[in-house]
Amino acid sequence: MTDIQELLLSRIRDVPDHPKPGVVFKDITPLLADPAAFAALTEALAEISLRHGATRVVGLEARGFILAAPVAIRAGLGFVPVRKAGKLPGATLRQAYDLEYGTAEIEVHAEDLTPEDRVMVIDDVLATGGTAAASLELVRRAGAQVAGVAVLMELGFLDGRAKLTQELGGAPLEALLTV
């Protein structure tokens, strides 16, 4: 494990049985409160985005926003929010998906993603892969290209990676940490 991975891992708190029994919640708030760790995370995700030729960064509400917005600025790329359904005011594309602990719907402004865009989807945790898969589906339906998915932490035992294989279409899934 690299020094940066050790730093990031040391700042993620395991919270058993949240938000429901049986789930070990990966809480990133200690990492966000540590400026060196947050900066290292931003730098790593920006490097991944640029290395894969992204022109836009998509952040997934809510925790994905916190990571993707500084990454977009650091990498000099536009930021596009994917929001929980009902929040965006303009014409949207909408996608339903399953979570480790429920179901939800997400939306993106249709005009924010064009066929010229190469999109890096950024989030904190990849669990079942439902959120990332739905986001990639939105990117594809908008006609944009997929540069990849980059997450802070992949929960390997839930095998979200397998769920994304088809949606990624050969694009990379990069996780800074896998547990």
Ligand X SMILES: Nc1ncnc2[nH]cnc12
> Please, which of residues 29-68 interact with ligand PRP by CB under 6 A?
60-64
Distance CA 61, CA 51 (A): 24
Q: 103 exposed, middle or buried (CB, 10 Å; 0-12, 13-18, 19+)? A: exposed
Distance CA 108, CA 33 (A): 29
Catalytic, 100? Answer yes
Distance CA 179, CA 175 (A): 10
Catalytic, 13? Answer no
Asked if residue 123 binds ligand PRP (CB under 6 A), the reply is yes
Asked if residue 60 binds ligand X (CB under 6 A), the reply is no
Task: By CB under 6 A, name the one of 9, 23, 104, 110 that touches ligand X.
Answer: 23
Which tokens in the block code for residue 67?
A: 């990571």
DSSP count for the chain of H helices, then E strands: 6, 9
Task: By CB under 6 A, name the one of 12, 40, 64, 100 that touches ligand X.
Answer: 100
**Element housing 174 (H / E):** strand 173-178
Task: By CB under 6 A, name the one of 4, 25, 43, 172 that touches ligand X.
Answer: 25
Contact segment (CB under 6 A) with ligand X among 24-32, 68-76, 80-88, 165-173 equals 24-32
Contact segment (CB under 6 A) with ligand X among 22-30, 53-61, 75-83, 135-143 equals 22-30
Task: By CB under 6 A, name the one of 24, 33, 99, 116 that touches ligand PRP.
Answer: 99
Distance CA 167, CA 132 (A): 9
Q: Which does 26 bind (CB under 5 to 8 A by kind): ligand X, ligand PRP, none?
A: ligand X
